[in-house]
Structure 1
């Protein structure tokens, strides 16, 4: 059985989501600011090119309005076996497990335990993947909490601008965001000491 890297059929996935977005290859190129030309996009979709950079993958996903994972992995074929690490012993995951690992879903730890590196974690070797996993878990959790807290703060700031009844919600959301910033700084993450100012723009009613 032939095992495929995650880049296999990335062109087909790109073409699918481009068409779902109702965009031509030229329109997609224009939306990317010309970072990828129409001909390069055509080469990706035809399979002649599959070596996208991380920056290009993120840009394509953002412009198409999809999470990067649906371009990076064969989400549409959950039992497809994806070769993550070549050589011996190598790492092969079914697509659904790779998606859980990449998106850090609830069972990501189970996936890592079942398919992860077989490292001798005794005191003599000094090798362990546990510390890295724990650090990643903490930072991702903080990032999600920050995104949620920032959204709540921006919403409250928007409505408090024209409705005094939202003032209390604004102050409370700001307090929570400041507390989270402080907690994140103590953990070693790089966040500003002050909550960034929100610029409120109201459209014409």
Structure 2
């Protein structure tokens, strides 16, 4: 039997909410979702969860979004992955979980769009890892730490960041650091 990905979303939400020691009321204070809506999600009365809601809930519960989106507790169940006029596609949950995490669709060769998306993800991880290493090295220098050649690490990471910035910009990635009240959207789109 094939399940929809949203089947069990409410039960997963309730499980992680309780595991976090939160009441529905306390969780609602952390997200832009009312206690009644959280209750309706958990009881299966609300199944049309938006990406905004899923991310807010996962963030507030300190879990990866995939833990709410897909049935980690039933890795061998079949879930519906696509429904068209002529057919419905499905995959085992563990394959969909792996795809959700890695971006690699099970049983198929990488498509051009998949390769572009995976390249963007890999480069973004590299970029933020380099930024973190740079910050760590600069902090070590400012504290007088001499346990490593921090100056060389700073130069290496700055060079790496310049290269990554150029490549990411070429891929259409906006690396602008926005203030908390800025949306990053063109005027009129917020």
Structures share fold, TM-score greater than 0.5:
yes
User: Superposition RMSD on alpha carbons, in Å?
Assistant: 2.1
Aligned mates of 1:89, 1:46 — CA distance in 2: 30
Larger deviation, residues 149-158 vs 36-45:
149-158
Distance 1:112 1:170, change over 3 A: same
**2:137 matched to which residue of 1?**
156
Q: Secondary structure at the match of 2:90?
A: strand
CA displacement, residues 73-110 of structure 1 (integer Å, 9 cap, x when unaligned): 001110011012124222101000001111126xx25x
Which segments of 5 or more consecutive residues in structure 1 lack a partner in the other structure?
115-128, 197-205
Q: Secondary structure at the match of 1:43?
A: helix
**2:174 matched to which residue of 1?**
190
**2:161 matched to which residue of 1?**
177
Q: Secondary structure at the match of 2:80?
A: strand
Map 1:71-86 → 2, pairs under 5 A: 71-86=68-83
Of residues 91, 100, 108, the one that matches 1:113 is 108
Aligned mates of 1:164, 1:182 — CA distance in 2: 31
Question: Cα distance, 1:159 vs. partner?
Answer: 2.8
Question: Cα distance, 1:180 vs. partner?
Answer: 1.6
Which segments of 5 or more consecutive residues in structure 2 lack a partner in the other structure?
178-190
Across the two proteins, how many residue pairs are aligned to each other? 173
Of residues 25, 35, 39, the one that matches 2:36 is 39
Q: Secondary structure at the match of 1:113?
A: coil
Matched-pair contact (CA < 8 Å) for 1:10–1:45? yes
Q: Secondary structure at the match of 1:6?
A: coil
Distance 1:112 1:140, change over 3 A: farther
Asked which structure has the greater RCO (Cα within 8 Å, sep 6+), the reply is 2
Query: Does residue 95 of the first structure (1) align with residue 93 of the second (2)?
Result: yes
Aligned mates of 1:147, 1:79 — CA distance in 2: 34
**2:188 matched to which residue of 1?**
none
Aligned mates of 2:171, 2:30 — CA distance in 1: 38
